[in-house]
Structure 1
């Protein structure tokens, strides 16, 4: 019986981002569904070493699920990654992702400190397998010389209940879920345009805002504007089931987008940052638009960054076009999404085969 430690990105404090919970849960589900003799335990990526140590030492193999490629990789983001590397235990990286700069004139390849890049290269050299979740993340790894990295897609697309299913043509949209934005204070005007546009386009539809994490400003906005807001982050295990019955998701959260698509619900994403850009460039269907922060004057001769109202208007135009032909853009897309999921299953199987 093998033992696997899953180093995940979710913590039940702070913003409590339910998408981070989905990452670790997806890997655990792949193991549980197809490799029942293997035990799995999860540990938070930024836990103190003394907190993480029992799980790491217990495991035969360590999986870093959606390794967050960021600055201060070994000091803040993964403070015990050096202990893992020095332990000699086998490890793998599944669906590593970046939040690369995608606004202004920032150098994509020089966005992470040299020490973190060197740790990343060391991780690549020793990994049993090293996959990335998107083409942007994969390109970055190639650019800085991370050995053995390959594109594998996001583990969060794992949803075997939808295997063999595709999207179907439809014009009746009765249930719409909007995922809430990060940095709400910078995106309130954007969200207002999006919600009003969807209300006008689908006047009979039920519209709910899914709060993927603690988001007081959006919750207050919803209360003021008589919009149903659902704190799905309060139930990390099943909160994403809000997407089970929706006909359409539109919004800002990449894991709202992933959750809807995995269930074969139409979904459109506003790409707030490098994570959203990664999905927009990777998926072969045009179902997202860039919505990065832009500089504006703040009325006091200063400059501020905020999300424009142009991006939601562009996305509404795309949805209106697709509504007219029954959302044919999505037909056949299910095969691609299932392919991503099955690719990740094979990498998990490879890891299981390596257990001693």
Structure 2
């Protein structure tokens, strides 16, 4: 083991998450073979491009800094058998209604300082580093060609899925659905002038978020008071630098309020069980696994969960799996077999049987009906 790693006692995942939360720098953990193992990124940030991943496999200095073009900078270093990557990307977020914006880009010197600070936080020593590469093209930004598409049913479904995530108080699901909404949602042009149009769209989104939050259990008085507060604030804004992030952040406020309401309406044990299922639905193999995780008996957990939610744990797990399967059936071209694996069913027959039991129709029929 390298001397800089010996005796190292820390929770790397927690450190990277905290560093990302404090700096908004997109961080990625790769295996030694170049597989992306974890991402600590802003909700609308793109996945790490393959061309970057290939560059990350070769290490020159303690910390390698790369300047591929005037829109991107990259830093990377090895930690045990992992590769820690920081990506400073000028992300183009372009969608319908010509509401494209550029996400903020750090200066290269500032980015380099952040990467050096992250290295020091992990190894407790400053890295030897220099600019090691430049001049290759990255290509893979999150870009949807600007257009004003007419309203369609897929756009309606994307909006409904987004509001369902708000209703559930599930932030991870909300951020995932928001990316789909940018691509598929029905976004009109409300008002003359760019700023007025963006404010009107944000107000419209706030109204939808408010209704979804109330359906999710947030008290109507609290939801409407929050809505008024947000609308009053946005009317005072003189510029909206990134409409999509602006709208997403408003929704996140409502998601967090619903989640907080859920925490108070459910016992901590049932709430933790739901949260565990939301985050691990694809990997859960048994109810016993959840009980072990929460350090309670399976029978007690099953009894309490059914009493408070009206559903069995198995039914709740299947509901979450089928909800994700529905999303992939409509918004991706993945095969039924691939979707079956994605959501954690052990066989295609079990997937089809469970899906039909929950949704009332088979996965294939669902895709033909809604896609």
Q: Is the TM-score greater than 0.5?
A: no
Q: Report the structure, 1 or 2, having the larger helix content.
A: 2
Question: Please, what TM-score do these two structures have when normalized by structure 2?
Answer: 0.22
Which structure carries more relative contact order (alpha carbon 8 Å, separation 6+)? 1
